[in-house]
Every structure is written in structure tokens, then in C-alpha cells.
Amino acid sequence: MKLTLKDNHRFPALGMGLWKLELDIAAERIYQAIQMGYRHLDAACDYGNEPQVGDGIARALADGLCSRDQLWVTSKLWNTYHAPEHVRPAVERSLSDLKLDYLDLYLIHFPIPLQFVPFEKRYPPGWFFDPHADAPQMKPVSIPLSETWQAMEELVDAGLVKHIGLSNCNIALIREILAIKRIHPSVLQVESHPYLTQEKLLRFCEMHCIAVTAFSPIGAISYLPLGMAKESDSVLAEPIIQKIAGQLGKSEAQVVLRWGMQRGTAVIPKASQIAHLKENFEAQDFELSAEQMAQISALNRNQRFNDPGVFCEQAFNTFFPIFE
């Protein structure tokens, strides 16, 4: 399955999310994923594993598993690099780590501009301005998103990036970018799963020819080890998900991923185990009925697990809400 962008380029609806992919297995898992048929990799500076991801990509390309133009690689501009003069050095660092000449997609990771931290001081810089301070905090700065976007457009002009987009942005911020853009935002990446269906946001993006990628497409499972969700928050335990999985002879995770793709979003589940990589990949091999799709969508309860208005205060001693 593929999604079509405004410029008619297409990219795979199923990708491999690389958040929390462990350093010691990252290169091998990337190689194995590409060998399995994955052609969409979702990386970011902040994940701290781009050099290892780059090793896996380089080996896969050298072994002829696919050509570079068959692979869709996304990375993201971190919060400390929002000032226009830092945008190009940031993407060049990601390209160097990933061992690539260009990115297929580069996203503004969060609409949260933070004080610049030089590469030589700390990379990835993380959320704290000074993690060794007595009371470490984030250090927000005032940089309009429009200025960052214009610097992102220059990356396309320079041939470093094929497409640019946004992540973790609401409709008001997207409107701001649409009002000043020279290059159209190709993709919006946001949290979305059956507990957070984001219907209005998806409809708005469709109206404006912006493709949507859903991160955390299975919901709470990514957040349990971080204490950001409880076992009872798992959509996989929902009776209707389990019933549909039983009817189709599929796993609950496959049903939820298929729902995400079938509603028109790309999904980027993370998997460390080969069995889970294979299971996720096979979510492309069946269809849900209209009734099953509606039953899953009806689970929505507007529950957000990745909310800076919560985790920034809990983990980084700074209240910084971006969603109402």
C-alpha cells in the first residue's frame, strides 16, 4: 500500500518506526527489515541511533537488497535547531550519520523551539539545556515556526531533502505554514490510534493535500516502559479488537495497523524482534470490512499518550503544552 503526495510522489503506508530501537541491534534490524520488504524507515536526530541505522541502510544498499530510490527515509529537525542558521547543519549531520546524500522527508519534530546546543557540546542534545544543572530544565526560545519552515524550504532547493513536513502540530499551526509556504508541506506526522482517531485533523489534511503518518499506531504499548501509560490503556485488549482478530485469523496488532492504513494514514510501528517485524509487515495482506472499520473507530476516547503538556513537566521540569 502507498500514499500519494501533492506532487504525485508515493511512499509506503507501512514503515518501521525507529524510536527506542536499541543501539546494539539497530543496524542488523534495519538490514533485516529491508530484506523482509520494508521500504519506509522513520528516523530522527533525537532517537540517538541514526549512525547505527545508517550502517544498516548502507549494508542493505551495498548488498543490492534495494536501490536508494526504492527506499523512503524520514528524519526530523530537533527542537534546538529551529533557528534558520541551524537548520541546514542539522540535516547535514543527520545525512552524515545515515550515510545518505538526501532524505526523502524531513519534518519539524515538535513546534517547541529550544535554546541551541552546539553539536560538539552534546549530540543528540535532548530536552534539557544543561542536564548537569542543579535543577535542569528546558530552555524555550522565541522562534516563529514560519522562520524555521522557510529554512526547511531551502533544504529542498539545495537537494538535501525531497519533501518537508510537520510533526506534532495542530490545525492552527498548519494554517500558519500554509499561509506563508513557498513549498507545500507534504506530510504531517502525529500520534493516532483507535483511542485517538484525530478525525478533524485528518479531514483538514485531506482537504489540503497533506498526507498523514500515524506514530504510536498501536497506542499505549510504546509508553508502558516509560510509565506514560498503564496496562489497562492497551487497545489490543479491547473485546472488539480481539473479536475481529479472531474472525480474520490475525493478531490484534495486525488488525489495529490495518485499520490505520485502511483509513488512509501511513503507520510506523517500532519492532525490535524479528517476529514482530514480520507480523507488522503482514498487516498489509488483508482487508477490514466497513463495519469492522467503524467498530474500531468507535473506540476513540481522545486519549493522547505523547503529550508535551504532560511529559515535559514530569520528565524535564518544564510545563510546555502544545495541545489544548
Active-site residue list: 47
Q: Which of 308, 312, 313, 311 is nearest to 323 (CA)?
A: 308
Distance (Å, whole) CA 41 – CA 53? 9
Distance (Å, whole) CA 34 – CA 246? 29
User: Cα separations (Å) of 97 from 42, 57, 58?
Assistant: 14, 11, 11
User: Cα separations (Å) of 48 from 21, 43, 124, 126, 141?
Assistant: 9, 9, 6, 9, 23
Q: What is the crossing angle of helices 84-98 and 50-62, to 10°?
A: 50
User: Cα separations (Å) of 242 from 41, 188, 207, 298, 319?
Assistant: 29, 30, 33, 15, 38
Three cell numbers at 149? 519552515
Contact criterion met (CB below 8 Å) for 248 and 286: yes
Distance (Å, whole) CA 2 – CA 9? 10
